[in-house]
Chain A
Amino acid sequence: MSPPKKMRVDLALIAGMVAPGSRVLDIGCSDGTLIDHLFRTKQCDARGLEIEMETVTLAVTHGLPVMQGDADTDLITYPDHAFDYVILSRTLQAVEKPREVLRQMLRISTHAIISFPNFGHWTLRLQLLLTGRMPMTQTWGRMWYETPNIHPCTIRDFFALCEQDGYIVEEWLAADEEGARTPWRRSRALANLFGEQGLFLLRKA
């Protein structure tokens, strides 16, 4: 098994939302750091789905249950309520059908935990306003014609979608680039302006 690693701060925030002993699917789990953490510290039955084959191989090599697959096409293969939590971290903006992926997540699981980079952050707004061109930041670091992030959204956009599709936001927070919690907890408008990432815990109404 892999030695304990220092985990990305946003993953630590996500882990904090997961109840001990629960069944978890981490979509876009990368090398499986989070599922390893959830197994070791919370005795979760945690599994991963990852699209990059080399990353999958790395995760399995570390003894983690990860399968190669695609959020857009593979979630339909799981039964209803197979999990307590399904996690999608920093991936929603890159899937082909975000709304459908969300629907599938809340079909196969009681809870969905989603994090995404906030396109409403003030630096992006300012760049677009001043230069008239697609913003480029550390998070949004690739040109519009080659970015995998084909579905950017803002924190407010996401709230709107949840409302429209009837998902209950049990918890939410905004975080900075490193994943540290930011103090915009009470104001969606401020979070949408100053939060670099949004993190949501959803369940079906």
Chain B
Amino acid sequence: MDQSPPHPETQHQSVTFAEGLTLDCGRHLASLTVAYRTYGTLNAARNNAILICHALTGDQYVAEPNPETGKPGWWDNLVGPGKPVDTENFFVICTNVLGGCMGTTGPRSPHEDHPERPWGTDFPPVTINDMVRAQKLFIGHLGIEKLFAVIGGSMGGMQTLAWAALYPQHVFAAIPVAAAYYHSAQNIAFHEIGRQAIAADPDFHGGQYWEHGVIPARGLAVARMTAHITYVSEEALSRKFGRKLQEAEGLSSLGERFEVESYLQYQGSSFVRRFDANSYLTITRAMDLFDLAAEHGGLLANAFKGTKTRFLLVSFSSDWLFPTAQSRAIARALNHVAANVSFVEIKSDKGHDAFLLDEPDFHRTLRGFLSGCAEHAGLK
């Protein structure tokens, strides 16, 4: 496997809140730093802001090249001038999530009590709600009372739902994409394989790997490989690779032979260069803990009682990680409280990853929905 060194850490645009943040677990972070990027211009009424929430391994670099990898922004095809989330009309904000490793407070940040070393596995467990509370602080810092929209895919969709549930007065429109209101046993199981792989890596050193000048690259790569399989559909894998072999003289029991193997290994090795293992553990756990219904007496509809927020739910037909049934259940719960909800399933064979890819029907739907909402919000 490719063992290139990690990308050097870069400086990220950020703001620090000296008051810190009290977490769901009861711990209080003495200080909170939120790394962010914005695109477009906030209008005088401060009512054209769209918050984008990123997924498990995403970051704040939505619509510009990532300074560490040099790759285009992860939602570059969706966000920008003239694009479905049009930065000529909207002020787009994205923050790195709490627990992340791109500048926001997380396991890689200096330890509160021992600033000479990172938090590592001492970092308190965080929840999706904690991430959202951190974002809310940041939005307040920008002087924005009400977001025009919150948009997010996958874990970003969980944050979007949490926003709508925690701060209904502050969200005009919510767009959870390929989302779920709880992490299923199957989802948790796949995450656990990843966590076990990281923990089993001798370079993990109980989470204190920086002390040894190493990273648990193998474990983290296996975690990424496992996760990656869940992001794609069987059909897409077959179409892309089938049973094609790499140039090889013959099959051996070990070593790269099938093309799909080397593809996965590439996914794994490029990931470890940009992502911190302890962050991965923290954020996957936050996803596993998410259950919006359980937070509201077991009834999801209770999370949205009296909501005035307009919702658009989008799922993808071949997504088996966050399947359409999940989005439909959310739509039905919103019906229970007579919320204004649109719901579409986009036909795609690209699996969960479809939300990141060029899916014209999805992009058209989102553009139209935002435009309709803008009219209702009096933005045009």
CA distance A47 to B372 in the complex (A): 12
Cβ contacts under 8 Å, A53 to chain B: 344-345, 347
Neighbour of B368 across the interface among A45, A60, A69, A83, CB < 8 A:
A60
Q: Which 5 interchain pairs have the tightest Cβ spacing?
A: A63-B372, A61-B368, A82-B338, A67-B343, A77-B335
Known: A53-B345, A57-B361. A63 touches B340 (CB 8 A): no
- Give the number of chain B interface residues (Cβ < 8 Å): 28
Neighbour of A45 across the interface among B312, B340, B341, CB < 8 A:
B340
* Cβ-defined contact, A56 with B344, below 8 A: yes
Which residues of B does A touch, CB under 8 Å?
310, 312-313, 331-333, 335-338, 340-347, 361, 364-365, 367-369, 371-373, 375
CA distance A78 to B331 in the complex (A): 11
Closest residue to B310 on the A side, CB-wise?
A65
Closest residue to B362 on the A side, CB-wise?
A57
* Cβ-defined contact, B336 with A65, below 8 A: no
**Is residue A68 contacting chain B, with contact meaning CB distance below 8 A?**
yes
Considering only residues 38-97 of chain A, those with a C-beta below 8 Å from chain B are: 45, 47, 53, 56-57, 60-69, 74, 77-79, 82-83
CA distance A176 to B159 in the complex (A): 51
* Cβ-defined contact, B372 with A62, below 8 A: yes
| A47, A67, A82, most chain B CB atoms within 10 A | A67
Cβ contacts under 8 Å, B342 to chain A: 56, 60, 64-67
Cβ contacts under 8 Å, B346 to chain A: 57
Known: A47-B340, A53-B344, A60-B312. A65 touches B335 (CB 8 A): no
Closest residue to A56 on the B side, CB-wise?
B344
Closest residue to B367 on the A side, CB-wise?
A61
* Cβ-defined contact, B371 with A69, below 8 A: no
Cβ contacts under 8 Å, A69 to chain B: 331, 343
CA distance A83 to B372 in the complex (A): 21
**Is residue A143 contacting chain B, with contact meaning CB distance below 8 A?**
no
Q: How far apart are B6's CB and chain A's nearest CB, in angstroms?
A: 42
Cβ contacts under 8 Å, B340 to chain A: 45, 47, 65
Cβ contacts under 8 Å, B333 to chain A: 77
Closest residue to B380 on the A side, CB-wise?
A1
Q: How far apart are B83's CB and chain A's nearest CB, in angstroms?
A: 15
Neighbour of B365 across the interface among A60, A74, A78, CB < 8 A:
A60
Q: How far apart are A48's CB and chain B's nearest CB, in angstroms?
A: 9
Closest residue to A78 on the B side, CB-wise?
B335
Cβ contacts under 8 Å, A77 to chain B: 332-333, 335-336
* Cβ-defined contact, A68 with B344, below 8 A: yes
Q: Mark A5-44, 1 if CB is under 8 A from B, else 0.
A: 0000000000000000001000000000000000000000
